[in-house]
Structure 1
Amino acid sequence: MRENCRKEVIRRALKFSKKFDPDIEEKINPAYQYIIQTGHQPVFFHPGIWIKNIFLNELLKSPLLEKSLGLNIILDNDICKDLNLSFPALSSNGNLIVEEISFLSSTLTPNLPFEEHPCPSLELIAKFTRDVIRGLKPLESENKDILNNFKNFARCLENSSHFCSQNYKESNLGEFLSLARRFYEQEIEPAYLEIPFSQICDGDEFLSFFLEIIKNIKSFSEIYNKKLDEYRKLFKIRNRAHPSPNLMIKENFIEVPFWIWREGDQRRKIFILNEEEKNYLYNDSYGKIFLIE
């Protein structure tokens, strides 16, 4: 199953990546043996996040890694809480400060994943661009690169919007932001593949992975929680939510490490409910979703 999953993910990633980079197939090694993977939520990257993509791309240029393939997973299943761009600005008394401008906050429905949000309008992009340029303008005499770099990125946002509207039937916020970032990366000539996590979840291999876990949920949840406890103890982490919360285990009720939602609805937890010697996939809002044979 693991090998089939790897092949299917790469097939889907290649199909997705060819939409915005028709020559991507010529940049990768079809006889790859290893996958070097990174990933993040499709937000405005700060340098500490973006360095992962840049480093991955540089690794792929090394002759020592000629049998490797790079993959960036766009975590579009995560909640889009806000989209703020932080940038340097001058205060009223001339001191250098960090300012934040929100991209979409007034239009965002709370607790929806990136894949559920539609692409922003060109009007919204234009307003965001004007607001940021207004904040950066006082710094132009000190450093023109800051303003010029943002203007380049703003063009990438516009290009991404045009591309999404022309090439996707129902493009979403995650694809839009990821594509804008990819356009901005052109100067490093990216040679790695991209794929939204939502597209990985559409495959039969992921479904098999999901079914294998829920079929063995009792033993899985016990091992899962034990390893989390060991990790927290080893690294002296007191916060029970890090690196992720333990799964809830009750007599007839076990939490599953996946999310569920309906279109336009909030992301919710799911459980295995044991009732009258039968197991059901269950959610408090949706009730019994289906019987697990």
Structure 2
Amino acid sequence: MKNITYKAPKNNKEVFIDHAVDRIPDLAHENQQKMRGFKFEVNGIPFQILREKTREELLSMATNYTAGIQSLLLKRRSETCLYVRDSNQRDASWHKEQDKLPGKGLSRDHETIRDISIIQTGHEPILYYPGVWIKNHLTQHLAKRMGGVGVNMIVDNDACNMGFVYAPILSEDSATVQKVALVDRMDGVAYEEIVFGSPERMLTFKKEILNLLKTDAPDEKKGITFESMRVAFEEFIDRCMNIYYQGCTDMVGLLTTARRALEKDLGIDNLEIPVSWICETDGFYHFLLHIVYEAERFAKIYNEKLSEYRSIHKIRSKANPLPDLRIMGNLIELPFWTWKAGERRGKCYLMKEGTSLKVTNGADDLFVLGNSKEENIERLKALKDAKIKIRPRAITTTMFSRLFFSDVFIHGIGGAKYDTITDEIIAEIFSVAPPAFVTISTTLFLPFDTYNVNTEDLQALQRELTDMNYSPEHYVSGVAQNDREFIDRVNKKKRILEIMEASSKEEKKRYFDQIKALNTMNLNVIYAEIQRKRNEIDAAKIKLAYNEVIKFREYPVCIYPTKLLKEYFYDVFFGE
């Protein structure tokens, strides 16, 4: 297993990428060639046949979902809105099948989809920060360069633990980062379940953020910058409100559409597809069933690779980076979540009872495996009517995408670390070398000036203050230097230090107490110098805290001045 030690870029406008941009088109081609050589079967279907069918299914779904998202950005409300939250809600009148991929001019025939390069990335449907958003820019850049298709996977099956944004508070005498919730943390509830019953939460969110985007410092330049941030955020949240009033009330659709509008201004037109939609394809059903039948073997390999990862990275906790899959006699935990619409996510298991195989949530049976692939697929499809959902976990999400859909997957740093585990599982389960992936991140600071002070400067000041306490005679100044009592104490300290060199341990302790008493008296002489040093330290801490707020990486792109985003992201890859 690779020991990936990637770290987020520290400097402004610094990009971390592995592999180099110029190398990625060849990497995608190598992945294509590699996967064309795969000979294994999935749920009894040859890999090549299932991959080609799945690519057609998912590109069709992504085209339809993206068309629905785009329809929410119409200026005239009287025009038809094609957006639906759930793929199961579509009907024949919802969308006419297109012959070409929208905006690409590419045919949707079998041969084109089989051979075209699909560049994929993915993230939770949250308010992206620049280090995440750069994945979408790279996806667009590569799709255009390679004549391919860029697809962003909306990971709406994740638990809604990131329903907030960070905002800076920059007052004249302090600086902090404030967390502001768009939705309250909903442990175990997936993003796809979050719906706004009224616009009040967004209006409150707007007010809270705007109240933070200001400063009491009499700095005209800073005031202008904050005003441009307020304008950018107001435009973003007002767009969200407009989308809401068009009938899109779910969190995923709202934030995805608002992000798409921002991306449109920067020339990004990747397709979008939620994981919840991916899970309604035959390709995903076959993948799920393959793992169900291989449940015990998969769980053992999964746990073994997690253990190896923990060992390499010296992680003691059994819950990190992911918990093991439990094997409890005839009950085997599956790498999927399950829940009923509107409820919390729960674990999913395979239960063996004699010759019978059941998929269960631990309390209720979801379905019993039948004797044929067709029968099992139909039973999975029937779960939709009962509003029962089965979704992949982190590793099975990217495993499915990398094997059955994309030619190259673009990760952030966190995802790349975890996908070293996925690589090992793919290699073990399917006996193939996994397709390579790309990792990218960036850092973009808010456009405020920072103080010329760093941690090393603060540490030097703190060391100096410590030395003042141990050697106050080195810091005395002015008339105190000629004070007879002060001079006598300094000379006495020198004599004691000379005597201590040849003293026993017990004698040294006695002499040390004498030196401590002399230092205490001499400290009174340099009280003003000590106070000045403490003030310097306090000032350095305030400046460092201010710098940290400016250099914080995870502010959402919707509060950055639009001009800054365009200046940076337009040219970010042309220097590579």
What range is the shorter-chain TM-score in? 0.7 to 0.9
* CA distance in structure 1 between the aligned counterparts of 2:304 and 2:104, rounded to whole angstroms: 43
Correspondence 1:94 to 2:173:
yes
Mark the runs of 5 or more structure 2 residues left unpaired by the alignment. 1-49, 72-99, 217-221, 371-576
Q: Is the 8 A contact 1:159 1:180 kept in 2?
A: no
Q: Is the 8 A contact 1:24 1:191 kept in 2?
A: no
- SS of the equivalent of 1:138 reads coil
Change (3 A) 1:220 1:43: same
* Deviation for aligned residue 1:287: 2.4
User: Which has the higher mean CA deviation after the structures are superposed, 119-128 or 245-254?
Assistant: 119-128
Which of 214, 223, 246 is the equivalent residue of 1:137?
A: 214
* CA distance in structure 1 between the aligned counterparts of 2:325 and 2:186, rounded to whole angstroms: 27
- SS of the equivalent of 1:190 reads coil
Mark the runs of 5 or more structure 1 residues left unpaired by the alignment. none
Which of 37, 41, 55 is the equivalent residue of 2:138?
A: 55
Partner residue in 2 for 1:123: 200
* CA distance in structure 2 between the aligned counterparts of 1:24 and 1:126, rounded to whole angstroms: 36
Partner residue in 1 for 2:319: 241
- SS of the equivalent of 2:228 reads helix
Which of 142, 157, 165 is the equivalent residue of 1:85?
A: 165
* Deviation for aligned residue 1:38: 0.5
Partner residue in 2 for 1:46: 129
* Deviation for aligned residue 1:109: 5.0
Q: Is the 8 A contact 2:337 2:348 kept in 1?
A: yes
Q: CA RMSD in A?
A: 2.3
Correspondence 1:226 to 2:304:
yes
Change (3 A) 1:142 1:96: farther
Correspondence 1:215 to 2:215:
no
| Larger fraction in strand | 1
Change (3 A) 1:109 1:88: closer
TM-score (norm 1): 0.86
Q: Is the 8 A contact 1:29 1:69 kept in 2?
A: no
* Deviation for aligned residue 1:252: 1.3
1:156-195 alignment, distance < 5 Å: 156-163=239-246, 165=247, 172-195=250-273
Q: Is the 8 A contact 2:63 2:271 kept in 1?
A: yes
Q: Is the 8 A contact 1:28 1:69 kept in 2?
A: no
* CA distance in structure 2 between the aligned counterparts of 1:222 and 1:259, rounded to whole angstroms: 18
Change (3 A) 1:82 1:52: closer
Matching residue's letter, 2:178: E
Partner residue in 1 for 2:455: none
* CA distance in structure 2 between the aligned counterparts of 1:28 and 1:79, rounded to whole angstroms: 37
- SS of the equivalent of 1:233 reads helix
* CA distance in structure 2 between the aligned counterparts of 1:178 and 1:239, rounded to whole angstroms: 35
User: Which has the higher mean CA deviation after the structures are superposed, 119-128 or 41-50?
Assistant: 119-128
User: Which has the higher mean CA deviation after the structures are superposed, 246-255 or 231-240?
Assistant: 231-240
User: Which has the higher mean CA deviation after the structures are superposed, 137-146 or 202-211?
Assistant: 137-146
Matching residue's letter, 2:369: I
* Deviation for aligned residue 1:49: 0.9
Deviations 1:115-142 (A, max 9, x none): 1111363232222111211111337615
Correspondence 1:292 to 2:369:
yes
Deviations 1:82-103 (A, max 9, x none): 5211111134x53232122111
Partner residue in 1 for 2:446: none
Comparing both chains, which one has the higher relative contact order based on Cα–Cα distances under 8 Å and sequence gaps of 6 or more?
A: 2
Partner residue in 2 for 1:18: 67
Matching residue's letter, 1:136: L
* CA distance in structure 2 between the aligned counterparts of 1:244 and 1:5, rounded to whole angstroms: 28
* CA distance in structure 1 between the aligned counterparts of 2:274 and 2:194, rounded to whole angstroms: 14
Q: Is the 8 A contact 1:73 1:195 kept in 2?
A: yes
User: Which has the higher mean CA deviation after the structures are superposed, 267-276 or 226-235?
Assistant: 226-235
Matching residue's letter, 1:187: D
* CA distance in structure 2 between the aligned counterparts of 1:59 and 1:215, rounded to whole angstroms: 37
Q: Is the 8 A contact 1:255 1:269 kept in 2?
A: yes
Partner residue in 2 for 1:75: 155
* CA distance in structure 2 between the aligned counterparts of 1:86 and 1:71, rounded to whole angstroms: 27
Partner residue in 1 for 2:9: none
* Deviation for aligned residue 1:185: 1.6
* Deviation for aligned residue 1:5: 1.1
Change (3 A) 1:120 1:157: farther
* Deviation for aligned residue 1:162: 3.0
* CA distance in structure 1 between the aligned counterparts of 2:224 and 2:121, rounded to whole angstroms: 35
- SS of the equivalent of 1:133 reads helix
* CA distance in structure 2 between the aligned counterparts of 1:24 and 1:182, rounded to whole angstroms: 17
Partner residue in 2 for 1:8: 57
